[in-house]
Amino acid sequence: MNIGLLGFGFVGQGFQQLVSEKYWLGLHVRQIGVKDPAKPRPALGIPFSTDPNVLLAEDSLDILVEAIPALDEAYQFVKAALQRGKHVVSANKRMLAHHLPELSALARGNGVQLRYEAAVGGAIPVLTALGGYFQTEVVTEIRAIVNGTSNYVLTKMADEGLAYADVVKAAQALGFAEADPTLDVGGYDPKFKIILLAAQAWGTWAAPDAVLNLGIQPLGVHELDLARAQGLRIKLVSSAKRTADGRVQLSVLPAFLRPDDVLFPIREEINAIHIQGQASGPHLFVGRGAGSLPTGTAVLADVRAVQLGQTLQLPAMATTPLDSSANVQLYLRTGQASLVEKLGLEVSAVRDGAYLGTTSIGKLLQHVTEVRASGAFLATVPQGFSLTANSPAVAARA
Ligand SMILES: NC(=O)c1ccc[n+]([C@@H]2O[C@H](COP(=O)([O-])OP(=O)(O)OC[C@H]3O[C@@H](n4cnc5c(N)ncnc54)[C@H](OP(=O)(O)O)[C@@H]3O)[C@@H](O)[C@H]2O)c1
């Protein structure tokens, strides 16, 4: 099977290496598309081109792998590939989260596959599970840590007292941070992933702008002290829940987690996706959410599935109105009392510019730009959470 590969960075190189090592699979990368004509390329015996049309026009290519960070170029490329009847495997969650309904309809209409396992949990085969095993099981809720960079930053800050900026730089050097770290630490990347997970689980798609995401950038020593004193950990948690009337609640928020939370032990750049099945109960998928070879492995698995004619059931996409009425118990640290009012926070405790209270996801979404601009830190809290760093452990009290 002949493959055209767009993008030769962490993901593209990992994939190409695995294809060449596992030569017996009968997969061949025939063309590689890149951006920078001046960059030196390894002598692989495979032509490099800076014109993606070269890949699109090549009839002998059966499948195109798209592994570039760009949004619009990737969308145009994948769309054109599907229109020309090529199978596509993509790692680009940002592009997929924005254009999934159109692209999945195009794939269906042209009788080809659009697969993107690597885009969601890196190496974790969660879409394969949702599209297979969970075809006959009802998923009621998904909670996930699906941003390796944020989890790495949170782990290093909490355990080693390292400064935020230094840890972000280290994550970039290790190859699992996006070039623009705001996508990671601002909660955008995990938002794209929870949108794709919800789409696979329920066939409901939500536009990224309609989904609440707040990040970990304003996290301070104060929150780390509060968490440590109460035996908690701070994580960036993506949530998706299906309501009784078939609507979906989606959000990405920092959270103080108790030790008995399944996501509590997930450390460093490791990802975890917790799926609640109606009859089968809880399932926890844990693995490497990023990195060259882990992500390359997921791309290879998708390509191999296409080669073997194995299809993945992708539900027909419907744009379902989100349910933003759910209330959340929040910790909010802000110097602006007016923000507390705007968010409609029903305050139960205040101490040193930090508030505990309840409000709805809808209220947070309505004022999300102001929350971000204000530098406020906001996180969900478990029952028994206290604003004093010398309070007894929440776990012991609960
Ligand atoms: N890194 C991970 O662990 C990971 C995990 C899961 C998913 N992803 C996703 O996979 C994609 C690639 O990530 P990466 O980490 O491999 O990126 P990367 O290391 O920055 O490499 C990007 C590659 O894409 C090429 N490129 C960029 N814009 C292009 C354009 N407009 N046309 C053609 N080629 C272009 C670059 O060309 P040059 O070589 O000329 O610069 C480079 O080869 C992204 O969508 C990312 O979100 C990454």
pLDDT tens string 238-275: 999 999 888 899 999 999 999 999 999 999 999 999 99
Name which of 382, 388, 396 is nearest 255 in CA terms. 382
Nearest CA to ligand 1 atom 18: 9
Nearest CA to ligand 1 atom 44: 69
At residue 389, the pLDDT reads 77
- Ligand 1 pocket, Cβ-based, cut-off 6 angstroms: 6-12, 33-36, 39, 52, 67-70, 73, 91-93, 118-119, 122, 175-176, 178-179, 290-291, 295
What is the pTM for the complete model shown? 0.96
**Distance from C-alpha of 398 to C-alpha of 391, rounded to nearest angstrom:** 13
Q: Identify the helix (H) or strand (E) that includes residue 39.
A: none
Rounded distance from Cα 67 to ligand 1 centre (Å): 5
The predicted-structure confidence for 138-182, as pLDDT tens digits, reads as follows 999 999 999 999 999 999 999 998 888 888 888 888 877 767 789
Calculate the CA 211 to chain-centre distance. 13
At residue 393, the pLDDT reads 61
Rounded distance from Cα 250 to ligand 1 centre (Å): 27
Both tokens of residue 347? 């305050």
Q: Identify the helix (H) or strand (E) that includes residue 46.
A: none
DSSP state of 69: S
Length of the chain: 398
Rounded distance from Cα 223 to ligand 1 centre (Å): 34
Residue 193 annotated among the catalytic residues of the structure: yes
**Distance from C-alpha of 12 to C-alpha of 2, rounded to nearest angstrom:** 15
What ligand 1 atom has the least distance to the C-alpha of 292?
3
Q: Which of 86, 93, 193, 363 is labelled catalytic?
A: 193
Q: What is the pLDDT along the chain (398 residues), one digit of tens a residue?
A: 999 999 999 999 999 999 999 999 999 999 999 999 999 999 999 999 999 999 999 999 999 999 999 999 999 999 999 999 999 999 999 999 999 999 999 999 999 999 999 999 999 999 999 999 999 999 999 999 999 999 999 999 999 988 888 888 888 888 777 677 899 999 999 999 999 999 999 999 999 999 999 999 999 999 999 999 999 999 999 999 999 888 899 999 999 999 999 999 999 999 999 999 999 999 999 999 988 999 999 999 999 999 999 998 777 777 777 898 899 999 999 999 999 999 999 999 999 899 999 999 999 999 999 999 999 999 999 999 999 877 666 654 44
Rounded distance from Cα 387 to ligand 1 centre (Å): 42
At residue 397, the pLDDT reads 46
| Residue 356, number of CB atoms within 10 A of its CB | 19
At residue 392, the pLDDT reads 61
Q: From residue 248, give the alpha-carbon distance in Å to each of 43, 243, 263, 372.
A: 49, 6, 21, 24
